[in-house]
Amino acid sequence: MINDFEGKVILITGAGKGKGRVLAEVFAARGAFVAANDISPINLNELVSRSRGRIKAYVDDVAKKVAAQAIVNQVEDDFGRIDILINHAAVEPRVALLDMDEWDWHRVLDVNLTGAFLTMQSAGRVMREKGLGVIINLITAAGPDSKNEAAYAASVTGLIGLTRQASLELSEYNVHVHALGVGIAEFQRADAGVPKKFVEAVMYLCRSSSNGQIVNVEE
């Protein structure tokens, strides 16, 4: 595999499972140093042990301000910078709107939306000082006929709006912000050249000079 991300420092939240884990492995294989965050150390142990020193674990809850700031500060202390932030941490409890407990509602928004905001803010400040950076928010939208996903659907719409606003505010610092996900075609605002497959699209956005792209991809 081509080492096209040699020496880059990439922070991935929710890296213990799913697409976050896939990306951690791909970036490490392409020469990057990956700061892998997850709320559970169990999810990261095997990932780190197989990485030959390319992946380091940062266990904490990004939904908490102090924790999110501590993660970013520790990554900067360890590697000197953060080149790319990928927000993948998310929860998706399936609870009917009329039965939903307030705790469920807040937990979804705290992790999916506030967590992304907190890491974007902290990492964005690091990137501003370096005059360069990329932030990608990963999303899987609730389907048009999905039920029991009111909180998750609200967090998706909020995160897309946050992405658009952040892309405007951070562009003057040469920090590019994008959202990428499955099932978000209704929000899409992307260049024609963006690949349709997930991993290839992430790699493309990390290298692209474009900004504020909202990209719908295939699984």
pLDDT digits (tens, 9 = 90+) for 149-206: 899 999 999 999 999 999 999 999 999 999 998 877 767 776 766 778 999 999 999 9
Residues 6+ apart with CB under 8 A from 120: 85, 87, 135, 137, 162, 166, 177
Are 23 and 12 in contact by the 8 Å Cβ rule? The answer is yes
**Boundaries of every domain in the chain:** 9-216
pLDDT of residue 125: 98
Per-residue pLDDT band at 87 (split at 50, 70, 90)? very high
pLDDT of residue 196: 80
Q: Please identify every residue annotated as catalytic.
A: 152
pTM score: 0.94
Mean pLDDT of the chain: 92
CA distance 149 to 157: 12
CA distance 80 to 99: 47
pLDDT digits (tens, 9 = 90+) for 162-173: 999 999 999 999
- Please state the CATH superfamily assignment of the domain spanning residues 9-216 in this structure: NAD(P)-binding Rossmann-like Domain (3.40.50.720)
Task: Summarize the confidence of residues 3-15 as an average pLDDT.
Answer: 95
Task: Summarize the confidence of residues 98-109 as an average pLDDT.
Answer: 95
CA distance 157 to 159: 6
